[in-house]
Structure 1
Amino acid sequence: MLKKYLIYSLAILFPGFLAGQTQEAVFSLPDTLTFKESIQIGLENNRNYQKALLDEDKAKYQRNEIRGAGLPQLSAYGNYNNFIDVYPQAIPGGGFFGGDPEDINVIAFGVPQSLKAGFQLNQLIYSNSYLIGLKAAKTGEEFYRLLAQQSEESVIHEIAMNYLSTIQLHLQRENLLATIDQLEGLEKILKAQYENDLARKVDLNRVTVNLTSVRSELENLDIGIYQREGYLKLVMGIPVDTPINLDRSVADMNTVVKNFQISGFNVADRKDMQILGVQEQLYEYEYKNIKAENQPQLFGFADFNKNAFSQQFDFLSTNKSWYQGFLIGLKLEIPIFDGLQTRNKAAQSKVKAQQLQLDRIQAEDAANLEYQSALNKYYNSLSTLNSLEENLALAKDVLRETELLYKEALSPLTDLLDAESTERQAQSNYNNQIIQVRIAQLDILNSSGKIKNLTL
């Protein structure tokens, strides 16, 4: 038990104590991290999504708090009075106190010291405002639930986009490595030919310059890959120094790109539209709650207490007399006139509801435009991909024929270098376009509210 409180105290005094302990946790990732696995890990560890889930829990507690206002409210109280001078009271003369009726008798009623202790019970019996508040609290839970789902979709989309962008950079790197292998082989051949006076120095220098340029491009690309992978890990909520190896089959034309199915579009499937619908309900409850402020409310109450009186402080004496008091009652509150405050508050609520209606119409138009733009982007990307596929095939043929001609001394080195550069660019463009098609697919899923299909 002592150890438990010691650790708790350290956590309060040094906030980094427990944080330092959790940071030492090591993530164990598969040898090859698939697309779905990265999304699943992100949903388990992304900080923003975890915060959204906590907001959902907080909404449940808020609803319980509102519900608690309708339950019995019991409290204990105590009251000790020590009158240094007992308050005087003025009464007319005559009667029981004697004297002239025109006189004023000043008498000290009460004793110098008194002690009172008891219990007070209050119970709400009827309040339309309370009933509306319960309904609004339940709708508030739905609101935060949708916000959590929207955060989940946002995390899925962001991980997917960064996953594909990282794969795109890796495909470019593979292309550069293949080019470097070709140039290194060509450089060895030219060096041997130059040493035997079969090739010119300028030809060897050209290959060396190209090789240096491609290696420099590879170094810059490695920096970009490191940064992109680091951001992907950040979105997934894992330490940035965790080794990661992505599954590149996500860019496979045969298994992924060509099998994509476009489903129907329904604007009501989007979480942002559902959130606006819940906000509309909340504004309706807000308006009803404001109107309910002018309606009667009924409360019940009870008070049980013990009283003692004395000339001096001797309340702890065993023979002290205590006098019991017990009270029950009802309290009815009927608002009559509040300076038109409630009326103007209700009018403000109506205006906010009208503004929300305009926001909803605009959001629907924007959602339709986003979906149509995603479709156009997808079809254009597919068309461009087909063209680049044909272009890549032609570039490979040109490179192959140029290599044969160069080996037979029928084509200059410049033609070979140009063909190699053209083939490398065609391959890079083709790889990039595959990713663009996949990104366009993500845009369709995201704009139609079906991005969670990636986890199925």
Structure 2
Amino acid sequence: MKKNLRVLLLAAGPGLLAPAGATLAQTPTAARPALSNQSAVVDNMPLSLQQAIEYAIKNKSSLLATRLAEQTAKARVGEIKSAGLPQVNVAANLADNFKLQKSLVDFGSLGGGSSATTLTQADIAAAQNGQTVNLGTVTLPSEPVPPQAFAFGLQYAGNTSASVSQLLFDGSYLIGLKAAKVYEQLAQKQTQQAEIDVVEQVSKAYYSTLVARERLQLLSRNVQRLDTILFQTNQTFKAGFAEKLDVQRLQVQRNNLVVEQQKAQRLTELSVALLKFQMGLQQEQTVQLTDSLSAAVIDAGALRQRLGVASPTTGGGVSGLAGVPTAPAPTSGNGAEQARQDQQTALSGARVGQLAAAFNYNNRIEFSTLETQQALAGLDLANRRAGAYPRLVATAAYGFSGSAKTAGNLFAFRGPDSRASNGFPNQNWFGFGNVGLSLQIPVFDGFRRKYQVQQARIAQQTIEKGFETLRQSIDLQEAQSRTTLVNALDVLDNQKANLELADEVARVSRIKFKEGVGSNIEVVTAETSLREAQTNYYAALYDVLVAKVDRDKATGELYNQAKK
């Protein structure tokens, strides 16, 4: 990202730093209306760095997608919790047994070879006429009857039921509740990580536009100053006191400067477009930056004091930190030990012991995220082990079942009080119900749980190893950001001194030329050197601002500063 922004600033070659356009005219910093979540294009939206960051955090599409993942994590937590709530189910089904299944029944086992009473139609008629009937007995054959096919049920059948179950104990569920909360924390930290990246990108893009705007104003003043010199030289030429070549040199210089200004204007539009993209703002929306570059310039002395380094020119800077550090004389003859200490000092970014000890790894969201992942890995290991615990569930069910020879008769829904025309009960629906406990005790699963525990333990150990790698990475990033920032401050001090010298040389050259004791070539050369010094100064200033953002991110302070 820093490289891309640097390209915008220096793409036109020496003497050019991407300036801001007319839509970025500075306004008083006191007028900073609150920036709301705007979807419609408004005229010239006022935009401070803080407002740009707040807008990006609320509207950047990548952040919105990350927040959706956070909402998914919350929904996942609710899903896990729901397993411990009562589970209620209602079921109903209807069947047309167009071909009833038959089973063989051994009727012979009911009493083959015993005696039985005979009842004939004549006996029934006599009984109906009020006559006394003497029933006779017969002896059944001793040979049993072979099994006969018998169909149970009727063609149409249906049932409906409601069941309730309540989890009473499950070790995996209890651990899952803890893991769900940690999982939600992990999603929140991932969102915060994405917000930090957005703050970094918007800050760099905003600083790029601030530097560009300042450079454009300086370019405009250079054009005006060159126009004045060109006019005076042209008048002198007409009076016969200057050569035409002097006028032509200045005209060439002015043409080149105007071309730079035009290129700067187009590159400015590109830098503003990049800022809008990093914010998630519509490209059609015009913006007006309300922060000034002077407000963004870093107090080099205070910053050097925080970093524990001295100014390369004064040895103490604004705050006075003692002299420029020099290499200490060796105190022992152990050259290898001294070389090892020097290497460690260099790798640590030349931090003194107090500063190194003051660094808190927990300030980095990556470290906090890894701690959350470690907690999840521990809970996953406990969950695998909890698979050996019994599982107890309370169950209850109640419903009705019915059957009939025809579909219409099935839906008659006749209860126990229903009677047929001949007085016999003709109930076709019957109720049923049950309550119970279900206990599941895992005994042997073919060592599946054993290998799951091994995998979970290895995953936990892998995360633990990652802490050392992350610490080393954070140390390296902190040292690199510190070194880059110190170097950028040194370059800025040097370029500022060069700019002051180049400005003085150009001023003296213009005076000498105006008084007739200097040459036109001297003025052109001085003006060219001044523009190069200006470009180098603003490029160095941008590098310091970007290095400060990288430093704040490396120390974990960027997010907290953006929230202020």
TM-score under structure 1 length normalisation: 0.89
Q: Which of 347, 369, 380 lines up with 1:286 in the alignment?
A: 380
Report how many residues are paired.
Answer: 434
Counterpart for residue 509 of structure 2: 402
Deviation at 1:93, TM superposition (A): 4.7
Separation in 2 of the partners of 1:58 and 1:253?
39
**What one-letter code is carried by the residue in structure 2 that aligns with 1:324?**
G
| Residue 64 (str. 1) matches residue 78 (str. 2) | yes
Q: Which of 310, 317, 322 lines up with 2:412 in the alignment?
A: 317
339 and 64 in structure 1: CA distance in 2 versus 1, 3 angstrom threshold: same
Q: Percent identity?
A: 24
Deviation at 1:301, TM superposition (A): 1.2
Deviation at 1:266, TM superposition (A): 1.0
| Residue 454 (str. 1) matches residue 534 (str. 2) | no
Instruction: Indicate the larger mover: 423-432 or 125-134.
Output: 423-432
Deviation at 1:252, TM superposition (A): 4.2
Q: Which of 184, 205, 208 lines up with 1:141 in the alignment?
A: 184
Stretches of structure 1 that go unaligned for 5 or more consecutive residues are 1-21
**What one-letter code is carried by the residue in structure 2 that aligns with 1:297?**
R
Deviation at 1:254, TM superposition (A): 6.8
Deviation at 1:164, TM superposition (A): 0.7
Deviation at 1:55, TM superposition (A): 2.2
**What one-letter code is carried by the residue in structure 2 that aligns with 1:344?**
Y
Give the aligned CA root-mean-square deviation in angstroms.
2.3
Deviation at 1:182, TM superposition (A): 1.8
Stretches of structure 2 that go unaligned for 5 or more consecutive residues are 1-36, 113-141, 308-357, 416-426
257 and 372 in structure 1: CA distance in 2 versus 1, 3 angstrom threshold: same
**What one-letter code is carried by the residue in structure 1 that aligns with 2:410?**
F
Separation in 2 of the partners of 1:216 and 1:253?
29
Q: Which of 53, 59, 69 lines up with 1:45 in the alignment?
A: 59
Q: Which of 371, 384, 389 lines up with 1:277 in the alignment?
A: 371
Instruction: Please say which structure displays the higher CA radius of gyration.
Output: 2
Separation in 2 of the partners of 1:182 and 1:191?
14
Deviation at 1:97, TM superposition (A): 7.0
Deviation at 1:70, TM superposition (A): 0.9
419 and 81 in structure 1: CA distance in 2 versus 1, 3 angstrom threshold: same
- Contact preservation (8 Å) 2:300, 2:489: no
Deviation at 1:427, TM superposition (A): 2.1
Separation in 2 of the partners of 1:293 and 1:97?
55
Counterpart for residue 224 of structure 1: 267
450 and 27 in structure 1: CA distance in 2 versus 1, 3 angstrom threshold: farther
- Contact preservation (8 Å) 1:35, 1:250: no
Instruction: Indicate the larger mover: 309-318 or 372-381.
Output: 309-318
Deviation at 1:415, TM superposition (A): 0.7
> Could you report, residue by residue, the CA deviation over 1:116-172 in whole angstroms, capped at 9, with x for unpaired residues?
111011221111111111111110110011111111211111110110111222222
Q: Which of 184, 189, 207 lines up with 2:232 in the alignment?
A: 189
- Contact preservation (8 Å) 1:92, 1:101: no
Deviation at 1:309, TM superposition (A): 1.9
**What one-letter code is carried by the residue in structure 1 that aligns with 2:80?**
I
Separation in 1 of the partners of 2:70 and 2:558?
21
- Contact preservation (8 Å) 1:78, 1:118: yes
Deviation at 1:102, TM superposition (A): 8.0
| Residue 117 (str. 1) matches residue 160 (str. 2) | yes
Separation in 1 of the partners of 2:534 and 2:218?
7
Counterpart for residue 440 of structure 2: 333
Separation in 1 of the partners of 2:499 and 2:222?
15
110 and 407 in structure 1: CA distance in 2 versus 1, 3 angstrom threshold: same
Separation in 2 of the partners of 1:171 and 1:307?
86
258 and 158 in structure 1: CA distance in 2 versus 1, 3 angstrom threshold: farther
| Residue 304 (str. 1) matches residue 319 (str. 2) | no
Q: Which of 19, 26, 45 lines up with 2:41 in the alignment?
A: 26
188 and 221 in structure 1: CA distance in 2 versus 1, 3 angstrom threshold: same
Instruction: Indicate the larger mover: 229-238 or 252-261.
Output: 252-261
- Contact preservation (8 Å) 2:297, 2:545: no
- Contact preservation (8 Å) 1:371, 1:448: yes
